[in-house]
Amino acid sequence: MNKRKILITGGAGFIGSHVVRRFVRNYPNDHIINGDALTYAGNLENLSDVDGASNYFFEKLDITNIDAVREVFEKHEISDVIHLAAESHVDRSIEGPMEFVMSNVVGTVNLLNAAKEFWKSGEHIFHHVSTDEVYGSLGDDGLFTEETSYDPRSPYSASKASSDHFVRAYFHTYGLPVKISNCSNNYGSHHFPEKLIPLMIHNILNNKPLPIYGKGDNIRDWLWVEDHASAIDKIFSEGRLGEAYNVGGLNEWTNIELVRFLCRLMDEKLGRKSGESEKLITYVKDRAGHDKRYAIDATKLENELGWKPSITFEEGLSKTVDWYLDNSEWVNKVTSGSYKDYYENMYGNRT
């Protein structure tokens, strides 16, 4: 097989860095090109352990700039794309939707156009990484399947739904070889402390209030980030063209139960008295348009491609907390500067 030149967009972000690391190690004969704009969420230190690998390349790339995208396709003779670059935080999308339109919608269409222009012959794959949030919000029962109608309700999920539609449209209209994966909430190492789990770990460590939106009874379905990376590898390598695959681990938690569990785990690890961290729990004003419940049915991925999560939530969360305890320098770096302004703006007047 010819050497593949795989562009992984958003490779300096949380999930992207795990995908890049996996591909650099698993596919030493291919070129892995990380194209990332290095926004507040992108951090090359996430990849310090693969930085020197001979099959790894970094390009500072803003996907909203079509000329820059074309340049990277040309320079590296890109044969495949795994597209993760996006604005990814719902709360930020409520404050400012336009950046989400630009990176998530315009950026995706730029990549699709470049792939369409450069891939005139040969075998190629455009794997678009998306979210279960495109399906909207569930009631008490049921799971999202690949047949669930799209019903996005936040600016973030609306932008991701739009990008999914464009990817499918390029398959049907131009025959572009695409695949889509829609995954549930991820957690793990290198997660920017604005999303629920890393924010709570950070605040527990620093004895800061733990802001629970509304009653804390919203439900999310959590998957360890390395299991998401293994699912992306499976789907990219063996999934059918034109198909979407849901990714999730049947692991639903209400936010409040999850935070209580995390508090108990961290009390143990930090040698605190039992119940100490839970005292930090603070109920705050709910998120606007807060989706009640997400839960994924990943039967298609399991039956067709034999994928399963590798570890339990208890194991994954314990590993995650250990990583944050061992990497305080990383946390200090990402929480200095503009993070403080973000935090004040989001939580300052919320209680």
- Summarize as ranges the residues that interact with ligand TYD (CB under 6 A): 90, 185, 195-196, 199, 211-213, 218, 220, 255, 287
User: Residue 15 binds which one of ligand TYD, ligand NAD, none, with CB within 5 to 8 A depending on kind?
Assistant: ligand NAD
**Total of chain residues touching ligand NAD, rule CB under 6 A:** 32
Q: How many CA atoms lie within 13 A of 297 on its CB side?
A: 12
User: Residue 162 binds which one of ligand NAD, ligand TYD, none, with CB within 5 to 8 A depending on kind?
Assistant: none
Least Å distance, CB 35 to ligand TYD, is 24
User: Residue 213 binds which one of ligand TYD, ligand NAD, none, with CB within 5 to 8 A depending on kind?
Assistant: ligand TYD
- Whole-angstrom Cα distance, residue 91 to residue 287? 7
Do 165 and 213 meet the contact criterion of CB atoms below 8 Å apart?
no
Pairing label, strands 219-224, 252-254: antiparallel
User: Which of the residues 156, 187, 324, 347 is marked catalytic?
Assistant: 156
- Whole-angstrom Cα distance, residue 236 to residue 179? 7
Least Å distance, CB 88 to ligand TYD, is 8
User: Residue 50 binds which one of ligand TYD, ligand NAD, none, with CB within 5 to 8 A depending on kind?
Assistant: none
Alpha helices in the chain (DSSP H): 14-26, 66-76, 90-95, 98-100, 107-118, 155-174, 196-205, 225-238, 255-270, 299-305, 313-326, 328-334, 338-347
Q: Catalytic annotation on 133?
A: yes
Do 281 and 208 meet the contact criterion of CB atoms below 8 Å apart?
no
User: Which of the residues 36, 80, 87, 133 is marked catalytic?
Assistant: 133
Among 84, 158, 199, 346, binds ligand NAD (CB under 6 A): 84
Give Cα 166 distance to the centre of its chain.
19
Do 116 and 170 meet the contact criterion of CB atoms below 8 Å apart?
yes
Order of strands, sheet of 252-254, starting from the edge strand that comes earlier in the sequence: 185-187, 219-224, 252-254
Looking at the Cβ atoms of 182 and 277, the one nearer to ligand NAD is 182
Q: Catalytic annotation on 51?
A: no
User: Residue 199 binds which one of ligand NAD, ligand TYD, none, with CB within 5 to 8 A depending on kind?
Assistant: ligand TYD
Do 195 and 269 meet the contact criterion of CB atoms below 8 Å apart?
no
How many CB atoms lie under 10 A from the CB of residue 130? 23
Least Å distance, CB 203 to ligand NAD, is 19
Asked if 15 is part of the footprint of ligand NAD (rule: CB under 6 A), the reply reads yes
Among 6, 63, 78, 158, binds ligand NAD (CB under 6 A): 63
Catalytic residues: 132-133, 156
Site residues, ligand NAD (CB under 6 A): 9-10, 12-16, 36-39, 41-42, 61-64, 84-88, 103, 107, 129-131, 160, 183, 185-186, 192
